Amino acid sequence: MNYRTTCPQCASVFRLGADQLEAAQGWVQCSVCGAAFDAHPSLLMEDGSPLSIEVEPEAVEAPALPDTAQATGEAAGTATPEAPAPAEDVAVADAPRGIAQREVSLDLPSIILIDPDIPVPDDPGPLPQFSPAPPYPHAPEAPVYPFTPIAPAAPSQAAARIEYATPQPATARTPSAQRRIPSWAWGVASLLLLVLLLAQTAYFLRDALVSRLPQTRPAFEQACAVLGCTLSLPKNSALLQIVGSDLQTEASGRLNLVLTLGNRANHAQAWPVLVLTLTDQRNRPLARRSFAPSEYLGDTQRIAAGIPPRSEQALSLPLTVHDLAPMGFDLELTY
């Protein structure tokens, strides 16, 4: 047979069997609040109905208390209960009053715990066997993070009020006509850019253009007179020619280079640079020397005027040679 009892401390309801009640001699420990109490005063049937005959525990000799506790009990006037009356002489109406019963039955599992601090007789009888609860799995160790104090939050400012404008009906817009540049303007701009490019090319390459196109020299001379630039003479070595040359040895032991330079162009050209190479009897070079126009011509006006067109100019260049006995020479013209 199964019974139902109520904890007087927290009003929790438990179910227990007659064998459990008899084995624990009516003492039950609440698994909710941990209070130990006698289950007989609040004992009900399993369906929540009162008992037809109240179940009383058998008379059990009270355990001997310590001297201090006994003295305290006598001082407080605690009486030792006599042997209880037979169970069959107790009516249902004599059930203890003041115990609140739940109106709705609760189907809760029964948990019977014996308080180890309560003294028990030497022969408590057979005790119930309880299987140990399965151990809880160990939680994995959580990573340890360094504690960082959080700065107090700044006082929140009042939220800005957002107002939405009332949508206005869209008005149809006529696309404005794009301003188009006329084609003749593009042509004029391109022509101006081309003229500017040609002018820059003619300014920086004026000497090369005059050498290739001698007939353009008068125009370039007029432009340089306005712009303040200078114009050099044409330099075309292909139109220069050495008509004759000779290396003569004087009585003092000095050498004298005599040559005739001819200009086959129809315009004046700049005086070239003479490159003289002295050789031995096997035509191997012994010494080499370059002579600028200022070295073989002493007249600056003649140098600035250049070689007249379609003319031949006789030149004489004295040389001083130390510790050399040249047997031949080689002469070249260059710019």
What is the per-residue DSSP string for 22-51? HHTTTEEE-TTT--EEESSTT-EETTSPPP
- Asked if residue 158 is part of any domain, the answer here is no
Which residue, of 94, 117, 141, is where some domain finishes? 94
Residue 305 lies in a domain: yes
pTM above 0.75, yes or no: no
| Chain segment 243-267, per-residue pLDDT in tens | 999 988 877 778 889 999 999 988 8
50 and 90, same domain (yes or no): yes
Q: Give the per-residue pLDDT at 193.
A: 94
Distance CA 137, CA 278 (A): 110
Domain end residue (candidates: 94, 115, 143): 94
Is 122 within a domain? Answer: no
Q: Region 35-42: what's the mean pLDDT?
A: 84
- Residue with the bigger pLDDT between 139 and 49: it is 49
In the DSSP assignment, the letter for residue 17 is E
Q: What's the pLDDT tens digit per position in 171-187? A: 556 555 567 888 899 99
Burial class of residue 261 in the structure, from the number of CB atoms within 10 Å of its CB (0-12 exposed, 13-18 middle, 19+ buried)? buried
Residues 281 and 200 in one domain: no
Stretch 121-148: mean pLDDT, rounded? 64
Same domain for 252 and 218: no
Torsion angle, alpha carbons of 300, 301, 302, 303, to 10: 50
Show which of 168, 200, 227 is a domain's final residue: 227
The CATH number assigned to the domain holding 292 equals 2.70.50.60
Q: Domain residues for 31?
A: 2-94
Residue-wise pLDDT for 143-177, tens only, equals: 666 656 666 555 555 555 666 556 666 555 655 55
Identify whether residues 220 and 307 lie together within a single domain.
no
State the CB neighbour count (10 A cutoff) for residue 241: 13
- Tell me how far apart the alpha carbons of residues 287 and 179 are, in angstroms, rounded to a whole number: 76
Q: When comparing pLDDT for 197 and 168, which is higher?
A: 197
Output the pLDDT for position 92: 39
Residue 35 makes CB contacts below 8 A (sequence gap 6+) with: 7, 8, 9, 10, 29
Per the CB < 8 A criterion, the answer to whether 27 and 9 are in contact is no
